[in-house]
Amino acid sequence: MRLTRQTNYAIRMLMYCAANDGQLSRVGAIATAYGVSDLFLFKILQPLVEAGFMETVRGRNGGIRLAKPAGSISLLDVVKTTEENFAMAECFEDDGTDCPLLGSCALNGALHEALDAFFAVLGRHTIDDLVVPNPMLGSLLGLEPGIRPVA
């Protein structure tokens, strides 16, 4: 299984905002830090706001920030918000398959078990778990204390 680029950067946006310690962040600064376009991040931002992970503040000094504590945002919740499909094989699809083993296939059961294990691990980790153990994260993202990135 491979997560989409959107999910990868959704998690990175959340990490950036968590590392920014409650301060407003600008999408342009986040885009610069990760080397992606503002437009790409704006597309990812909408589902994160709708899911209640992030909030936007309008106006000249506006920006984005986490809508709730980083410790309450599980990686599983983010992945389920940003991924469209968890079909690991054709037989996972709702539109059916021509496989004669459908309904009695051990492969399907094994893949479901693997997906459940994947979800269980993601459910045990939060955005906070990705940020707190890395004291250099803010510095790596250009969030030096007292120095606010502008974009």
**pLDDT tens by residue, 74-112:** 999 999 999 988 776 666 666 656 677 666 778 878 888
pLDDT, residue 147, reads 41
Residue 136 bridge partners (DSSP): none
Collect all residues with Cβ–Cβ distance below 8 Å to 146 and sequence separation of at least 6: none
Given a cut of 60, is residue 150 above it in pLDDT?
no
Q: Mark out the alpha helices in 4-151 (DSSP H runs).
A: 5-19, 27-34, 38-50, 75-82, 106-123, 127-131, 137-140
pLDDT(47) > 80: yes
Does domain 5-84+127-140 correspond to CATH entry 1.10.10.10? yes
3-state secondary structure of 116: helix
Angle at the Cα of 12 from the Cα atoms of 89 and 129, rounded to 5 degrees? 90
pLDDT at position 146: 43
Is the per-residue pLDDT at 53 higher than 60?
yes
The full set of domain ranges for the chain reads: 5-84+127-140
**Mean pLDDT, all residues of the chain:** 86
- Predicted local distance difference test score (pLDDT) of residue 135: 80
Separation of alpha carbons 85 and 76, rounded Å:
14
pLDDT score at 133: 85
Q: Name which residue leads in pLDDT, 141 or 13.
A: 13
Residue 136 has a pLDDT of 82
At 96 the pLDDT is 58
